[in-house]
Structure 1
Amino acid sequence: MSLKVSPELLAEAQTGTVADDDFLDCVASSLPDAWKLVESLVDELEASGAEFADNRTVLTDEVAGQVLRMMASNAMRSAIERKHGVRLAFQNCHRVAVFKAGTEQSYERFTSSAAQLLNQNPELVNC
């Protein structure tokens, strides 16, 4: 299980209506290292003025596992994107990127097959 869901949040989900803030609090507390990584990339993006910010640091297995769980969930990714007004992208087990709205060409390059192949690293073969 990737999220630690409180009984209150579970009750919200059972009614079919979960507030983004409540859901994001659950994500942040359940996957704190992945959350910190994404938040730091959003901060970097805002400060830099660039089209995107990405992580190129190899992560520990624990952090990589959290990132994988976060990035594999459409619900988590969508909620994070709405909160920050960005688009998320992911390659391998460590390379997370946040893109400003309106940067489709940069996003398409980052998520292309060629970019995925060029991002391979023998050290990360089992990530």
Structure 2
Amino acid sequence: MSLTVPADLLEKAQRGPVSDEEFIACIRDSLPFAWSVVAELAERLSTDGAPFADNQKEPPDEQARGQLLRLVGSDAMRGAVERYFNVRLAFQNCHRLALFDPAARSAYHEFVSPRAQLLNQSPELVNC
């Protein structure tokens, strides 16, 4: 299961739409490691002035890695996180999550290119 959904939020979703704020709270509470990575990158992006900030640290365990994969693997979660932080997400391999300033189109397209994916490969990442 991707998220731990509180009963009241599930009931609300069964009746109709839920707000991004409610969905973000569910993501943050369900995927604390993934949320901490995203929040740290968002902070770096806003303070460094670079076109993007990326995570190069491997998750501490498989549970943490799973959280990161679930976050980036869901279009709904990705979209909500992108709107919340006003960023564009990109992902390579098992843990290289990057947040881009929406205006940094060139840097984003370079990061998500086949060339960048190939250059980001290493033997230790084959089975991650």
**Who is 2:72 aligned against?**
71
**Who is 2:27 aligned against?**
27
Residue 11 of structure 1, CA deviation: 1.2
Residue 62 of structure 1, CA deviation: 2.0
**Who is 2:16 aligned against?**
16
**Who is 1:122 aligned against?**
123
Residue 58 of structure 1, CA deviation: 1.7
Structure 1 CA distance for aligned equivalents of residues 81 and 122 of structure 2: 28
Residue 89 of structure 2 corresponds to residue 53 of structure 1: no
Structure 2 CA distance for aligned equivalents of residues 42 and 36 of structure 1: 10
Residue 16 of structure 1, CA deviation: 2.5
Residue 125 of structure 1, CA deviation: 1.2
Write out the 4+ residue segments of structure 1 that deviate beyond 4 Å after TM superposition. none
Structure 1 CA distance for aligned equivalents of residues 93 and 12 of structure 2: 33
**Aligned residue type for 2:118:** L
Structure 1 CA distance for aligned equivalents of residues 23 and 12 of structure 2: 10
**Aligned residue type for 1:59:** P
Post-superposition CA distance 1:20-41 (Å, at most 9, x none):
1111111011100000000000
Residue 79 of structure 2 corresponds to residue 104 of structure 1: no
**Aligned residue type for 2:93:** N
Structure 2 CA distance for aligned equivalents of residues 115 and 16 of structure 1: 41
Secondary structure, in 3 states, of the residue corresponding to 2:50? coil
**Who is 2:85 aligned against?**
84
Residue 63 of structure 1, CA deviation: 1.5
Structure 1 CA distance for aligned equivalents of residues 34 and 123 of structure 2: 23
Structure 2 CA distance for aligned equivalents of residues 44 and 114 of structure 1: 25
Identity %: 51
TM-score, normalised to structure 1, is: 0.97
Structure 1 CA distance for aligned equivalents of residues 114 and 22 of structure 2: 35
CA-based RMSD of the aligned residues comes to 0.8
Gaps of 5+ in 2: none
